[in-house]
């Protein structure tokens, strides 16, 4: 366990609170023992470092609800291909990856996310111990799912479900690493694997994270094999339930949306990745939210996005929904910011501790420069719109997790970017040489 960050008071920040009233205004914020202890005027300064935050917006840390963060060396390795061809390349290269490679990729991915104001992320991969070490080193908050497949479908050593259980045992209780189980998808998991994942999660009280109905091909092939669409089938075999986050969820019927809502499943909407892989259609975000399904935003990996920027994801998710629905009022700016913060936390059952600037919550937040060109005019009534539609990652000056500064003036505090970059380059050189021609 790391030592707690010293108490700090952030004086006169433009606070985008994301509280129930969605309050925005000039406030003082006191942070102590990793939590917000004062949000309002005249914060007590006894024993605290005082930070002049007048030139900044103080914004809750973004929650990236679906990543494969360790794939950072594979950015652009399989561009301009549909999902099947993309995965063929990725699986071929992945077969050559070591745990050390995964840790190098995870450090680079986490660095990119922190610099973009993402403080929490939900991940699905293997060798998650390596990702956990990177989380621990750089100071992010990682919800890490060990990828589970049918034993005959994996290159993992040992039984994937046993590997997931062992990983959960090693990291459960860590202050910033939350381990969980992550069945890959219906195309590589049979009913036994799905139900085994469910049972493991129940025994260990963890989340379950998985891919669901990303493409029409996935849905059609599963329907041909089982006679049921994926979400219907998962419900009927007894898998669907609370404490689950399904990624993508593009090709859903109204009946499947109702099933997800009844079961208490959250959804990670990954618009950029779906667009780039030409998944077709647009995820029914409005209908999911209307049914009561908590929906957050995920970037997916840099191999399919090719970015881990949540600001970019907010922009694209909003514009596509508006255009697709012929409705400029669909997913307005405030709702988009909700998806990237509080709703992402709610999808994971973490809304009591993450996603907003409120007394008692974890002090995960960013200081965003109000003098940056992409935030002009820097007016309180415009700040939410700027975050949704125009702000650039470069406007994010400093980032805090549990009240600890992990990015200070655009520089990582707990890692050296040049070292991370050089390590990444060496791994990428070897992996790119292995890619199918």
Q: What is the pLDDT of residues 285-344, one digit of tens each?
A: 999 999 999 999 999 999 999 999 999 999 999 999 999 999 999 999 999 999 999 999
Q: What is the mean pLDDT of residues 113-134?
A: 98
Q: What is the mean pLDDT of residues 146-175?
A: 95
DSSP SS3 for 374: helix
Domain covering 63-347: architecture: Alpha-Beta Barrel (3.20)
Cα dist. 143→96, 180, 272 in Å? Answer: 25, 7, 21
The residue among 267, 220, 276 whose CA lies nearest residue 248 is 267
Q: How many residues does the chain have?
A: 437
> Is 1 a residue whose pLDDT tops 60?
no
- What pLDDT is attached to residue 318? 98
Q: What is the mean pLDDT of residues 341-358?
A: 98
The mean pLDDT value of the chain amounts to 96
How many Å apart are CA 262 and CA 259, to the nearest integer?
A: 5
Residue 391 token pair = 């702000």
Of 84 and 311, which is predicted with more confidence? 311
Residue 53 token pair = 């935050």
- What pLDDT is attached to residue 280? 86
Residue 396 near residue 407, CB atoms below 8 Å? yes
- What pLDDT is attached to residue 248? 98
- What pLDDT is attached to residue 362? 98
Residue 391 near residue 312, CB atoms below 8 Å? no
Q: What is the mean pLDDT of residues 360-378?
A: 98
DSSP string, 198-240: HHHHHHHT--EEEEES-SHHHHHHHHHHHSS-HHHHHHHTT--
How many Å apart are CA 366 and CA 388, to the nearest integer?
A: 15
Partnered with residue 56 across adjacent β-strands are: 369
> Is 276 a residue whose pLDDT tops 80?
yes
How many Å apart are CA 313 and CA 331, to the nearest integer?
A: 13
Of 269 and 95, which is predicted with more confidence? 269
How many Å apart are CA 321 and CA 250, to the nearest integer?
A: 12
pLDDT confidence bin for 84, thresholds 50/70/90: confident
Q: How many Cβ atoms sit within 10 Å of the Cβ of residue 187?
A: 17
Cβ contacts of 128 within 8 Å, gap of 6 or more: 144, 145, 146, 167, 179
pLDDT confidence bin for 87, thresholds 50/70/90: confident
- What pLDDT is attached to residue 265? 98
- What pLDDT is attached to residue 164? 98
- Domain boundaries of the chain, sorted by first residue: 8-61+353-412, 63-347
- What pLDDT is attached to residue 6? 87
Tally the C-alpha atoms within 13 A of residue 220's C-alpha that lie toward its C-beta: 3
- What pLDDT is attached to residue 5? 80
The residue among 165, 105, 156, 163 whose CA lies nearest residue 135 is 105
How many Å apart are CA 190 and CA 216, to the nearest integer?
A: 19
Q: What is the mean pLDDT of residues 239-261?
A: 98
How many Å apart are CA 100 and CA 274, to the nearest integer?
A: 29
> Is 437 a residue whose pLDDT tops 80?
no
Q: How many Cβ atoms sit within 10 Å of the Cβ of residue 59?
A: 27
How many Å apart are CA 40 and CA 30, to the nearest integer?
A: 9
Residue 429 token pair = 């050189």
Q: How many Cβ atoms sit within 10 Å of the Cβ of residue 320?
A: 19
DSSP SS3 for 341: coil
The CATH number given to 8-61+353-412 is 2.30.40.10
Residue 240 near residue 263, CB atoms below 8 Å? yes
The 141-148 sheet, strands edge to edge: 62-67, 118-125, 141-148, 177-183, 208-212, 244-248, 266-269, 295-297
> Is 43 a residue whose pLDDT tops 70?
yes
- What pLDDT is attached to residue 185? 97
Residue 139 token pair = 């100071």
Q: What is the mean pLDDT of residues 211-235?
A: 97
Q: What is the mean pLDDT of residues 160-171?
A: 98
Q: Where are the alpha helices (DSSP H) in 332-411?
A: 333-340, 342-347, 383-389
Q: What is the mean pLDDT of residues 401-413?
A: 98
> Is 2 a residue whose pLDDT tops 70?
no
């Amino acid at each position: 366990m790391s030592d707690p960050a010293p108490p700090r008071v952030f004086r006169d920040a433009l606070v985008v609170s994301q509280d129930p009233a969605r309050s925005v205004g000039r406030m003082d914020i006191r942070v102590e023992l990793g939590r917000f202890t004062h949000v309002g005027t005249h914060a007590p300064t006894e024993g605290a470092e005082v930070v002049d935050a007048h030139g900044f917006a103080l914004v809750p840390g973004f929650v990236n609800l679906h990543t494969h963060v360790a794939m950072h060396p594979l950015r652009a390795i399989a561009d301009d291909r549909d999902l099947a061809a993309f995965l063929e390349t990725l699986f071929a290269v992945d077969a050559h990856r070591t745990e050390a490679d995964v840790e190098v990729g995870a450090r680079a991915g986490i660095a990119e996310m922190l610099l973009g104001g993402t403080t929490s992320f939900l991940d699905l991969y293997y060798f998650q111990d390596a990702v956990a070490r990177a989380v621990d080193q750089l100071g992010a908050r990682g919800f890490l799912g060990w990828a589970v497949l049918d034993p005959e479908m994996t290159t993992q050593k040992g039984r994937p479900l046993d590997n997931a259980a062992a990983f959960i045992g090693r990291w459960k209780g860590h202050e910033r690493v939350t381990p969980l189980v992550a069945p890959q998808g219906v195309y590589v998991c049979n009913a036994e694997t799905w139900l085994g994942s469910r049972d493991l999660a129940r025994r260990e009280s963890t989340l379950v994270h998985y891919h669901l109905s990303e493409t029409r091909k996935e849905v059609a092939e599963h329907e041909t094999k089982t006679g049921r669409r994926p979400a219907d089938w998962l419900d009927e075999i007894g898998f669907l339930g609370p404490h689950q986050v399904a990624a993508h969820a593009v090709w859903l019927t109204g009946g499947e949306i109702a099933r997800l809502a009844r079961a208490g499943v959250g959804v990670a909407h990954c618009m950029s990745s779906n667009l780039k892989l030409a998944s077709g259609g647009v995820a029914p975000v409005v209908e999911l939210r209307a049914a009561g399904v908590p929906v957050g935003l995920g970037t997916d990996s840099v191999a399919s996005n090719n970015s881990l920027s949540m600001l970019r994801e907010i922009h694209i998710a909003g514009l596509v929904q508006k255009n697709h629905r012929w409705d400029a009022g669909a997913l307005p700016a405030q709702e988009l910011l909700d998806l990237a913060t509080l709703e992402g936390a709610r999808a994971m059952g973490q809304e009591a501790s993450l996603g907003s600037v409120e007394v008692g919550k974890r002090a995960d937040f960013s200081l965003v420069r109000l003098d940056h060109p992409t935030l002009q005019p820097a007016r309180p009534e415009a700040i939410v719109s700027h975050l949704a539609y125009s702000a650039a990652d470069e406007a994010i000056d400093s980032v805090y997790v549990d009240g600890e500064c992990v990015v200070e003036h655009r520089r990582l505090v707990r890692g050296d970017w040049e070292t991370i970059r050089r390590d990444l380059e060496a791994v990428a050189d070897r992996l790119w040489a292995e890619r199918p021609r």
